[in-house]
Structure 1
Amino acid sequence: MTAGAADHWDICLSTLRETDRDRYLACLLSPADTRGPLAALYAFHAEIARIRDVIHQPLAGEIRLQWWRDLLSGTAEGESNANPIAAGLLATIDAYRLPRDVLANMTEARIFDLYDDPMPDRNALEGYAGETAAALIQLAGLVLDAPAAMQQAETAGHAGVAQAIAGILLLLPLHRKRGQVYLPLDILSATGLDRDTFLAEPEGPQHRAAIEAFAGLGLDHLSKAKRAGGIPAALLPAFLPVAIAEPVLQAAARAPEKALRGTLQAPQWRRQLRMLRTLALKRL
Structure 2
Amino acid sequence: MAPEGLAAAYAECERIVRDGDADRAVSVGFTAPDKQKHLFALYAFHIETLRVRDLVSQPLPGEIRLQWWRDRLTSADDIEEAAQGSPVALALISTVRAFDLPVDAFDRYLEARLFDLYNDPMPSRTEFEAYAGETFSTLMMLAAMVLDRDSAPSVATAAGHAGVAETAVWALRHEAQHRHRNQIYVPGDMLSALGTTPAEWLAGEDKARPVREATRALAREHTTNVSTRWAEIPRSLRPVFLPALLAASTLGDETKPVGPFKRLWTYWRLMRR
TM over 0.5: yes
* Residue in structure 1 matched with residue 245 of structure 2 by the alignment: 243
1:75-121 deviation line (CA, Å, top 9, x unaligned): 79x65151110011111111111101101111111110011111100
* Residue in structure 2 matched with residue 165 of structure 1 by the alignment: 168
* Residue in structure 2 matched with residue 226 of structure 1 by the alignment: 227
Superposed counterparts of 1:137-216, under 5 Å: 137-201=140-204, 203-204=205-206, 206-216=207-217
Contact 2:76/2:82, CA 8 A, preserved across alignment? no
* Residue in structure 1 matched with residue 131 of structure 2 by the alignment: 128
CA distance in 2, matches of 1:173, 1:266: 18
SS of the residue aligned with 2:148? Answer: helix
1:25 aligns with 2:22: no
* Residue in structure 2 matched with residue 254 of structure 1 by the alignment: none
Contact 1:154/1:228, CA 8 A, preserved across alignment? no
1:170-205 deviation line (CA, Å, top 9, x unaligned): 11111111111100011111111121111114x21x
Give, as a single letter, the amino acid of the residue that structure 1 aligns with 2:124: D
Q: Residue 14 of structure 1: CA displacement? A: 1.6
Q: Residue 11 of structure 1: CA displacement? A: 1.9
Give, as a single letter, the amino acid of the residue that structure 1 aligns with 2:150: P
1:103 aligns with 2:106: yes
1:274 aligns with 2:266: yes
SS of the residue aligned with 1:182? Answer: coil
Q: Residue 266 of structure 1: CA displacement? A: 2.8
Q: Percent identity?
A: 40
CA distance in 1, matches of 2:82, 2:42: 19
CA distance in 1, matches of 2:197, 2:169: 21
CA distance in 2, matches of 1:85, 1:54: 17
Query: Structure 2: which 5+ residue stretches go unaligned?
Result: none
CA distance in 2, matches of 1:132, 1:87: 21
SS of the residue aligned with 1:12? Answer: helix
Count of matched residue pairs: 268
Contact 2:42/2:92, CA 8 A, preserved across alignment? yes
TM-score by length of 2: 0.92
* Residue in structure 1 matched with residue 7 of structure 2 by the alignment: 6
CA distance in 2, matches of 1:237, 1:180: 31
Give, as a single letter, the amino acid of the residue that structure 2 aligns with 1:274: T
Let me know the Cα RMSD of the aligned residues: 1.9
Give, as a single letter, the amino acid of the residue that structure 1 aligns with 2:28: C
Give, as a single letter, the amino acid of the residue that structure 2 aligns with 1:142: M
Contact 1:170/1:265, CA 8 A, preserved across alignment? no
* Residue in structure 1 matched with residue 72 of structure 2 by the alignment: 71
* Residue in structure 2 matched with residue 45 of structure 1 by the alignment: 46
Contact 1:28/1:35, CA 8 A, preserved across alignment? yes
